[in-house]
Structures are given as structure tokens and as C-alpha cells.
Amino acid sequence: MLVTWKYRPRNTFIQRLDPRTRWIFLFSIILALTIPEIWDYRIIFPLFVLSLTLFFMARIEWKDVRRAFLSIFILVFFIVGLNAMLFGRGGPSSVQDPTSPVLFWVVTVSKAWFAIVQIMRMLTMAFLAIPIPYTMDPNIYGTTFKRMGVSDKVSFTIDLAFRFLPTFARDLTITMDAQRARGYELERLKGGIVARIQRLAPLIIPVVMQSTVTGEEVIDAMDLRAFGTARRSWLKELHYAPRDYFMIGLGVTIFLACCILKWGFGIGDFFVPEFFTRLVTG
């Protein structure tokens, strides 16, 4: 068993961006859609296209993201989308417009359009979030958070967690092999769910207990080197390039534009466009 990161170096515009830029841009878009509560397709659709474009620019292969997308599509289309179409809850009250023509059963034109807008809105955020593990080097998470203002200790915890990962993955492999040698059949866990979870204990307990012992040794080593007594310096340096300023500027502009459009001009509320009503009602 090999625990591998989804990250692979690719020579793409997305990977040349400073990791801080990626986080700031992601949060700008999330905030732009959520703080002023944007439900207008004229704003959401261009953002959807933008995030889809950035996703394709990351050049991640479909086989890598297939599993993640399958789960997200099931959630977005079946749990959220169907609920929005049948009940129209979650969005603004105008979705429940009683004068909206009924398409079938309880589904109205308004609810159907709302489902489409909501799915598009959620996918806009998902297309920006999914590429992160595939395109951001795990070795610079700690430095990134430090340079974004997070404390030394928290940033070091992040850094250390990523470094511990291969060790514990190896411990898990060794434990699995050792238990198999004793007749433990991981592939054939039998019984109900309670019994199956109980039978995972011989696998989980040794790894966790070994890690607590390892922890004490690491604490001693760090204390001997006076960890936490002064500000830390960080080996990796991060520098903004012009492209980073452009992306941060774009993210902030989108956020401000959404706020100004909604609160200054009243644009951004939910409404059903004429073309959709004509299309579905014939």
C-alpha cells in the first residue's frame, strides 16, 4: 500500500501561481456568492465559466478526479438539485412564487430554474476547490499558512502533519501485514456494521498507540532544540509575481462587484428569465 498525494508537478498557469493567491481567490469567489447572496444567473453563469476555465487550465486528468466528481455530482444533483426542484427551499422566497406555471406534480418553472441555478452555484465553488490537492505542493502548506498570517505553532503543526503522513501510512501497512500473518482477514470482515467496526480495532489500535510513543520522542527532540522559545524562520520562501497580483485583483474585484451590484443596484436576486419560461412551457 502506498499513500500518494494527488499532487504532481505540471507546468501550468495554475501551478505557477503563488499558493496564497489560490486560497485568496477561492475565498473571494465563495464570499462573492454567499455574502451578498447572489442568485442571478447573469452573475453566476460567468463565474461558473471562469471557474470551469481555471479547472481546465489546471490540466488534471479525468481519471484522477473521476471519483471525486462522481461523489460531488451525486450530492449536488440528487440531494441538493432534486430537493430544490421539488420543494424550492433554501433560496430566496421568490422561488416559491405561487403564480409560476406548474410543469408536473409540484415542480414549477420557478423551482426548476432555481435547481439549475443552485447546481451551477455549487459547481462554481467545487471547480475551484477540487484542483487544490492535485495542483498544490503538500510541502508548502505550512509555509503558505504562515505567510498568510497564521501563527508559527499552527503553521508548524500543519507542516509536521504532512511530514508524519508517510510514517503512519507505513505503520498501517506493517500492522496490516502483521495481522494478516496472524490470520486476520481484512478483505473478509464479516457480521453487521458494529461487528465490522469492532474488527478494525486490531488494525487501528497498534498504529495509534505506536504514534503516541513516537510523539513523546519528537517532543523531547523539539524541546531539546528549544522549540517555541523564539520566532521561527521558514526554509521555503514565497514571492508574488505579477500574475498573482492580477488573480488577487480579479478575485477582490469580483467580490466587490457582487456586493455593489446587490446592495447598490439591487441586481443579483433570484428571477426566472423569459427564455427559460418559454422553453419549458412551449
Partner 1 sequence: MNDKSTWEFGTRQVVYGAIGAALYGVFSWATNILFPLPAAGNVTFRPAVAVLIFFAVAYGPWVGLLAGFIGNMIGDGLSGWGFYWNWSLGNGLMGMIPGLIVMAISDFRARADILKAVGWGTLGIIVGMLFASLTEMFVGGIDFNTALVGYFVPAFLGNLVVTVILLPILMIAFAAVAARRGR
Is-contact 19 147, C-beta < 8 A? no
Instruction: Report the C-alpha gap between 261 and 268 in whole angstroms.
Output: 7
Instruction: Select the residue interacting with partner 1 from 19, 36, 131, 268 (CB under 8 A).
Output: 131
Residue 200 interacting with partner 1 (CB under 8 A)? yes
Integer Cα distance of 209 and 169 in angstroms? 14
By CB under 8 A, residue 64 contacts partner 1: yes
- Choose one: 97-105, 188-196, 241-249, 251-259; the region binding partner 1 (CB under 8 A): 188-196
Stretch near partner 1 under the rule CB under 8 A, chosen from 76-84, 100-108, 235-243, 271-279? 76-84
Per CB under 8 A, 216 contacts partner 1: yes
Span of 8-16, 158-166, 235-243, 254-262 interacting with partner 1 by CB under 8 A: 158-166
Q: Is residue 95 exposed (0-12), middle (13-18) or buried (19+ Cβ within 10 Å)?
A: buried
State which of residues 45, 73, 184, 227 lies at the interface with partner 1 (CB under 8 A). 227
Judging by beta carbons within 10 Å of its beta carbon (0-12, 13-18, 19+), is residue 213 exposed, middle or buried? exposed
The least CB distance from residue 125 to partner 1, in Å, is: 7
Distances (CA, A) of 163 to 141, 149, 169: 11, 21, 11
Nearer to partner 1, 97 or 274 (CB): 97
